[in-house]
Amino acid sequence: MNALLISILLTTGGGQAPSAAPAPQPVSLKGADGVALKATYYAASQPGPGILLLHACNRDRSSWKTLATQAAGRGYHVLALDFRGFGESGGDRFERFQEQQPIIDAKWPVDVDAAFAWLTAQPGVDKLRIAAAGASCGVNQSVQLARRHPEVRTVVLLSGGVNPDGREYLRSTPALSVFSAASEDDGDAIATMRWISGWSRNTANKRLEYKAAGHGTDMFAVEKGLEPAILSWFDAQLRNASTTAATAAAPIKPTIVEEFWTALNAPGGVARAKQMYVEAKKNRSDVVLFPENELNLFGYQLLQSGNAKDAAVVFEMNIDAFPRSANVYDSASDAYVALDRRDEALRAAEKAIALLPSNAHISDELRTAIRESAAKKIAELKKR
């Protein structure tokens, strides 16, 4: 951890919290590049496991305050971090998430490791029993922390996605238990959380789904049982967690999500994957084999490799799963053009244009790209 150049300025608070845990303490850290990071430490009154809390990109560390206070009262040592660019931490502020993505990819993992190092260095913290909890963009950071540090025994994930490295870690590390939660009114958050949890082979995993609770830690204010459920999860999955390496667990049967993507990536496996999708849709309504964007990306990988036939099948699965999405029709139109199926290409492009006004959840940039892509194909197809 020498490269992190962590600088600690710890100011202790006075008095005792009602739970008999010490009062929360402000913490200052320095990342490797000197950016000041702020956090709050909620120490327990006795030795116990540690928990690192990572907020959503529309919030800061204060969004975890109630949960952190209650967790400290139950014997957990908790550190809530402000990501750089948020809350009281330093770093550039960005108006658009796309502009911030390079910072998230390159800088945040180092900052999170700095917070992890500080937390595990505190007196009374059980260095071999740590949990990470993330909301929204904190979800991937939590799983990535577990990937870098096997001391992380469980993760709590609220309304967010995980990149391919994180999904592979969940797949290959069945000893890491996963608690997830999302709400129906939060775009495709429920589908995303179902898909992510579907990569994990841990049989103890727990998933909560709500009707109208909002996004990330905002769900706490609406669903009063969510925070108690998370605390109970820590009691069950962290307090008595094994101290052996998480990767040492015995192999467990692959999940249906893993089997689907294994088939999809195998030579000639698209037809088998489609059959699995049809069977799952009929018999397992709670299973999400793919999010729209992930399957769309895979379809374009096939298309760019010259396999337009399988790409069309993949895009058609996406249409079946997400029939109100303009983007899936525009993508299918690209495959039909490559296959010289002109009538189908025209119908799909026109459907994409027709659906755009109802796709309120997509960004302005994506909306413009879909409209321009579909309109260009329509014009070219009508000339022939």
CATH number of the domain encompassing residue 59: 3.40.50.1820
Q: 42 to each of 25, 72, 113, 131, how far by Cα in Å?
A: 7, 6, 18, 14
Share of the chain above pLDDT 70, in %: 92
Answer whether residue 272 is part of any domain: no
Answer whether residue 297 is part of any domain: yes
Give the end of a domain, one of 188, 220, 248: 248
CB 108 within 8 A of CB 141: yes
How far is the C-alpha of 230 from the C-alpha of 236, rounded, in Å?
A: 10
DSSP string for 257-323: HHHHHHHHHSTT-HHHHHHHHHHHHHH-TT-----HHHHHHHHHHHHHTT-HHHHHHHHHHHHHH-T
Q: At residue 4, does pLDDT exceed 80?
A: no
If DSSP codes are grouped into helix, strand and coil, which group holds residue 177? strand
Per residue in 56-71, pLDDT (tens digit) is 998 999 999 999 999 9
Q: At residue 81, does pLDDT exceed 80?
A: yes
Same domain, 336 and 205: no
Q: Show the DSSP H helices in 54-163 as ranges.
A: 65-73, 97-106, 108-120, 137-148
Nearest residue to 130 (alpha-carbon basis) of 15, 51, 22, 74:
51
For residue 187, what pLDDT band results from cuts at 50, 70 and 90? confident
How far is the C-alpha of 189 from the C-alpha of 361, rounded, in Å?
A: 12
CB 182 within 8 A of CB 209: yes
For residue 258, what pLDDT band results from cuts at 50, 70 and 90? very high
Q: At residue 152, does pLDDT exceed 70?
A: yes
**pLDDT value of position 12:** 33
Beta bridge partners of 80: 40, 53
* Mean pLDDT confidence for 186-207: 93
Same domain, 329 and 229: no
More confident of the two residues 362 and 265: 265
Same domain, 84 and 150: yes
CATH number of the domain encompassing residue 307: 1.25.40.10
Tokens read off for 125: 């913290």
φ and ψ at 54, to 5 degrees? -125, 120
CB 274 within 8 A of CB 315: no
Mean pLDDT is lowest, of 250-254, 255-259, 314-318, for 250-254
**pLDDT value of position 276:** 96
* Mean pLDDT confidence for 254-277: 95
* Mean pLDDT confidence for 166-173: 95
How far is the C-alpha of 291 from the C-alpha of 353, rounded, in Å?
A: 22
* Mean pLDDT confidence for 214-236: 98
Same domain, 210 and 336: no
Same domain, 149 and 53: yes
Give the end of a domain, one of 197, 216, 248: 248
Q: At residue 45, does pLDDT exceed 90?
A: yes
Same domain, 107 and 9: yes
Q: At residue 245, does pLDDT exceed 80?
A: no
Total domain count for the chain?
2
* Mean pLDDT confidence for 293-320: 96
**Domain range spanning residue 357?**
290-383
CB 164 within 8 A of CB 258: no
**pLDDT value of position 363:** 83
**pLDDT value of position 15:** 34
For residue 248, what pLDDT band results from cuts at 50, 70 and 90? very low
Q: At residue 14, does pLDDT exceed 90?
A: no
Q: Which residues contact 244 (CB under 8 A, 6 or more apart)?
A: none
* Mean pLDDT confidence for 26-36: 96
**pLDDT value of position 319:** 97
φ and ψ at 259, to 5 degrees? -65, -40
* Mean pLDDT confidence for 316-344: 96
More confident of the two residues 253 and 121: 121
Give the end of a domain, one of 248, 281, 304: 248
Same domain, 233 and 345: no
Answer whether residue 280 is part of any domain: no
Q: At residue 223, does pLDDT exceed 90?
A: yes
DSSP string for 163-174: -HHHHHHHHH-T
